[in-house]
Amino acid sequence: MLKNFTKRKKEDKEALSAEIKALRAELMGQQQKLMSAKLPVIVLIEGWAAAGKGSLIKELISEIDPRFYRVESPVVQHESEERYPFLYPYFKAIPVNGKITFLDSGWMENVVRKYLRHEITKDEYRRRLRQVYEFERQLRDSGYLILKIFLHIDKDEQFDRLRSLAEAPETEWRVTEEDLWQHREYKNFRETYDEFMRKTNDTVQWHILDGSRRKTAVRDAMNLLVSEINFGLDSGKYKGKPFEEEFPLKKMPKLSEVDLSLSIDDEEYKAELKRLQTRLSELHNIIYRKKIPVILCYEGWDAAGKGGNIRRVAYPLDPRGFDVHPIASPLPHESNRQYLWRFWTRLPKTGHICIFDRTWYGRVMVERLEGFCIENDWKRAYNEINEFERMLTDWGAVVLKFWIHIDKDTQLARFTERQNTPEKQWKITDEDWRNREKWDQYETAIDEMLQKTSTKNAPWYIIESNDKKYARIRTLKIIVKALEKACEDHFKQIMD
Amino acid sequence: MLKNFTKRKKEDKEALSAEIKALRAELMGQQQKLMSAKLPVIVLIEGWAAAGKGSLIKELISEIDPRFYRVESPVVQHESEERYPFLYPYFKAIPVNGKITFLDSGWMENVVRKYLRHEITKDEYRRRLRQVYEFERQLRDSGYLILKIFLHIDKDEQFDRLRSLAEAPETEWRVTEEDLWQHREYKNFRETYDEFMRKTNDTVQWHILDGSRRKTAVRDAMNLLVSEINFGLDSGKYKGKPFEEEFPLKKMPKLSEVDLSLSIDDEEYKAELKRLQTRLSELHNIIYRKKIPVILCYEGWDAAGKGGNIRRVAYPLDPRGFDVHPIASPLPHESNRQYLWRFWTRLPKTGHICIFDRTWYGRVMVERLEGFCIENDWKRAYNEINEFERMLTDWGAVVLKFWIHIDKDTQLARFTERQNTPEKQWKITDEDWRNREKWDQYETAIDEMLQKTSTKNAPWYIIESNDKKYARIRTLKIIVKALEKACEDHFKQIMD
């Protein structure tokens, strides 16, 4: 892509200014329409050091009302300093519906730089290319307009710019070691940028602008932005179609086939609980030191015993190293972003454990059944979620998913008990009764979910919870075993 | 306080367990009541390294539903690594109404450690003591229940604990250099902890618990928590009374005395705009390098020209180094916390500029006039805001506040023009017309605000904006002058 790049010709300055002025006026007029259409826009500006990314953004935003945009410039940290998946800062930065996020460097710079620094392997580099592709597709499919611009200058131009910055005392500090290193490695960078762009050009196209012609670049960038927005306004929010990629799946039984008579006696329960909690506490120390992130996902019928189960798992953990995230209906700033955003922003740091009390699977259960999203959305979600979880396990996380299961009679008994016990009444709401009426529809949705998303890397476990104590022991056993394995694998990995 | 500390006697283990069990059950019952009463609770656990803070919190939370609490353990960073005021992580961590935040070490550890590391001077240490006092009082006054616990062990006990941690291979890593340093400096720490607690004991009392008796400490802490919550539930949300501290004030005219005929001709405007923007751009580079944070606050009548003014200031700035925060009505997660929280969490990093398009002064204008808070609240706010801004300028920030001023006729003309211009219609709402009807009430409130909060360190400037261009130039001049002075002072400070 950079190979075939041809420099722009010089244009008449005044004509350019007039064009820019007209485009700016159009952009101003678009702001309000974007809000009405609830279209979110991401403008990614990548490019060479000293190519003028900052100045370009300055021109793009100069007439936009600050209520409508944000500029983000996530720093590329060294791999060893990162505590989150590499896409974390970019996913965090996505705008709410109707607003624009400008990114001054983004996921491309991040991946390319780490690769050229030899902080990530060739394999990991390829994995990240795929993750970037998935990231862009998921956002596009849920209606984000994405504009990707690369600001190009050749090696001589970069040399001149870096020199003039370095030679003036007031700008000298702006030339960093990283910039100089890029300049020395110009050829390597060019090849890698090129490869990156070629491989991420299908879903969302790249636009390469000539950074050596500042004004032309501003006009062109503004032109792209205005057209992109007009296109979005005309064609309406993009609604991605469902698709099916093959993930290695674990075979799951249907809910109706599960043996719910399993139980445990009190004495064994007490002994096992103590043993497993002690072991889990030890393992928490190890995973903390080894910096393994752990994500435990709880879903289940109302009154199945999720809360009590979670408390037994959380009790032996060091409170400094874990979080429980109860997931209720999304707040406005959450529902106005892609649905995975509120989970991305709650991911644990490496070495930490987080427990989700309800999860992103709401998409294919309550959102599906209550019509909170359209059919395309929940049908696409199986794959999106598998991708999301693969990204988590590729990152090194242990991901375990529990469906806490009871039968309809047991639920009724527990609802009735809650109803009749004053201090438990708050736990039972009309909504619980309404959901109960839809038991069969939910069962169909859950069976489908279990079949389609129990991947080898992030499997589902159906936990028989008619006997809550049995369920707690079973969950603890699964967690302990998975963490033991993770610690062992981690050791092997280091030894390799 | 630590001097008079007497160790607890040994108690019967089973009796203790029974007491803890009973308290736990009571705490469980309180959760829902806290939610209904909308009472937020902060539990601060301070104490010696290896005193058992983590385990204590583990016991306190073990039966609380995760929906009702969070555990936070902000790390004490070295002063040089901090980019925010030192109270930032603690203010950020305050819970929403009805929930509990447990802090595993907090503001005391932060201040004491930095002081003993000689990272802050004696003067700065005293200032922070005052800021802590103000922080606690502000939260208490707005209805937060605060429980402060210090977990005490003597030097020998600490030695034994650190040794047994260090000697077991699986816990060895938990003993840090910082812990060992504290142990060597035990006496200094004890004196400083003691002083800190004595000086922050008036508004919210400290409770010193004997960390060497783990179970007794759990019972006592739980007892304190349960009683504190019961007290809060019985007496209702605390409503702090207004108070007046003397701040050095800048004399302000009344709005009615302001000469709104001031204007600028087009040619001068263009030349001055260019000159000032160029200078501002240079200054942005300097303050970025000197790591001076800058906070620009805009308030003003509807249609006074805030937006255009802000854009002229923002245009020359490097987008990587500034943010504009448009402030609308608070979202639920904001209005459910102390009113300054949403501004604390938007503070700029050192070296960055942030522009607030409307500010915390909403408290003494719209919230006052529309009855969104009670009289005590807005009357107290003058002092709370002065304290907040003093904290900002003590931190090193430049804080400038602009009241963008027009007269009633000019507003009417601009409203009418907006109404009649299709692409500007979104800018005018029924609310604007309703606010206009209350012009006189607003004027009284604004005059009072300007009189009471134009401190020498964070002054107000009334910007005559019947001529918007005049207003822009005047604002830019004030900003440029203030930044020049800040850069100079900063230099002097370093030379001292």
Query: Looking at the partner chain, which of B54, B65, B67 has a beta carbon nearest the beta carbon of A319?
Result: B54
Interchain proximity A331–B332, CB inside 8 Å:
yes
For A16, the enclosing helix (H) or strand (E) is helix A13-37
Q: How far is A159 from chain B (nearest CA, A)?
A: 22
Query: Looking at the partner chain, which of B54, B62, B71 has a beta carbon nearest the beta carbon of A315?
Result: B62
- Going by C-alpha positions, the residue among B153, B175, B169 that lies closest to residue B8 is B153
The stretches in chain B having pLDDT less than 50 are none
Between CA B206 and CA B210 the distance in angstroms is: 13
With contacts defined as CB-CB under 8 Å, which chain B residues touch A71?
319-320, 323
Tell me if residue A72 falls in helix, strand or coil.
strand
A415, two tokens? 């609802």
Residue of A nearest to B290 (CA): A173
With contacts defined as CB-CB under 8 Å, which chain A residues touch B331?
331-333
With contacts defined as CB-CB under 8 Å, which chain A residues touch B315?
58, 62
pLDDT value for B494: 64
Tell me if residue B349 falls in helix, strand or coil.
coil
With contacts defined as CB-CB under 8 Å, which chain B residues touch A63?
311
Which of A70, A278, A311, A320 is most worth mutating to test chain B (most B CB atoms within 10 A of its CB)?
A320
CB atoms within 10 A of CB A269: 17
| Token pair 């002065």 in the structure block, residue | B386
Could you report the per-residue pLDDT of B103-141, keeping only the tens digit for each? 999 999 999 999 999 999 999 999 999 999 999 999 999
Which of B75, B315, B320, B355 is most worth mutating to test chain A (most A CB atoms within 10 A of its CB)?
B320
Between CA B291 and CA B293 the distance in angstroms is: 6
Between CA B53 and CA B161 the distance in angstroms is: 13
Interchain proximity A289–B58, CB inside 8 Å:
no
pLDDT value for B67: 85
Between CA B387 and CA B399 the distance in angstroms is: 13
DSSP bridge partners of A299: A403
With contacts defined as CB-CB under 8 Å, which chain B residues touch A170?
282, 285-286
- What is the number of alpha carbons within 13 Å of residue A246 lying toward its C-beta? 1
Which of B62, B175, B329 is most worth mutating to test chain A (most A CB atoms within 10 A of its CB)?
B62
A338, two tokens? 């892609």
pLDDT value for A496: 58
Interchain proximity A319–B286, CB inside 8 Å:
no
With contacts defined as CB-CB under 8 Å, which chain A residues touch B290?
none
Could you report the per-residue pLDDT of B223-239, keeping only the tens digit for each? 999 999 999 999 988 99
Between CA A287 and CA A236 the distance in angstroms is: 47
Contact criterion met (CB below 8 Å) for A432 and A302: yes
The stretches in chain A having pLDDT less than 70 are 494-496
Residue of B nearest to A287 (CA): B170
Q: How far is B283 from chain A (nearest CA, A)?
A: 10
Distances (CA, A) of A255 to A407, A417, A451: 9, 24, 11
Q: How far is B387 from chain A (nearest CA, A)?
A: 28
Q: How far is B480 from chain A (nearest CA, A)?
A: 17
Residue of A nearest to B306 (CA): A65
Interchain proximity B315–A357, CB inside 8 Å:
no
Across the A:B interface, residue pairs with CB atoms under 8 Å apart total 103
Query: Looking at the partner chain, which of B29, B282, B319 has a beta carbon nearest the beta carbon of A61?
Result: B319
Interchain proximity A58–B318, CB inside 8 Å:
yes
DSSP labels, B395-433? HT-EEEEEEEE--HHHHHHHHHHHHHSGGGGGG--HHHH
Distances (CA, A) of A140 to A232, A252, A416: 11, 32, 46
Give, in degrees to the nearest 5, the angle at Cα B193 between B191 and B199. 100
- Going by C-alpha positions, the residue among A32, A41, A143, A53 that lies closest to residue A104 is A53
Interchain proximity A66–B318, CB inside 8 Å:
no
Domains by residue range for chain A, with CATH: 13-235 (3.40.50.300), 255-495 (3.40.50.300)
| Token pair 């040399």 in the structure block, residue | A159
Interchain proximity B61–A289, CB inside 8 Å:
no
pLDDT value for B377: 96
Residue of A nearest to B313 (CA): A62
Interchain proximity B320–A28, CB inside 8 Å:
no
Between CA A155 and CA A184 the distance in angstroms is: 9
Interchain proximity A319–B104, CB inside 8 Å:
yes
CB atoms within 10 A of CB B31: 21
Phi-psi region of B383 (alpha: psi -120 to 50; beta: other; left: phi over 0): alpha
pLDDT value for B449: 98
Interchain proximity A423–B332, CB inside 8 Å:
no
Interchain proximity B71–A323, CB inside 8 Å:
yes
Q: How far is B67 from chain A (nearest CA, A)?
A: 6
Phi-psi region of B351 (alpha: psi -120 to 50; beta: other; left: phi over 0): left
Q: How far is B246 from chain A (nearest CA, A)?
A: 36
B480, two tokens? 């440029």
Contact criterion met (CB below 8 Å) for A43 and A58: no
Interchain proximity A54–B289, CB inside 8 Å:
no
- Going by C-alpha positions, the residue among B18, B37, B15 that lies closest to residue B230 is B37
Residue of B nearest to A68 (CA): B326
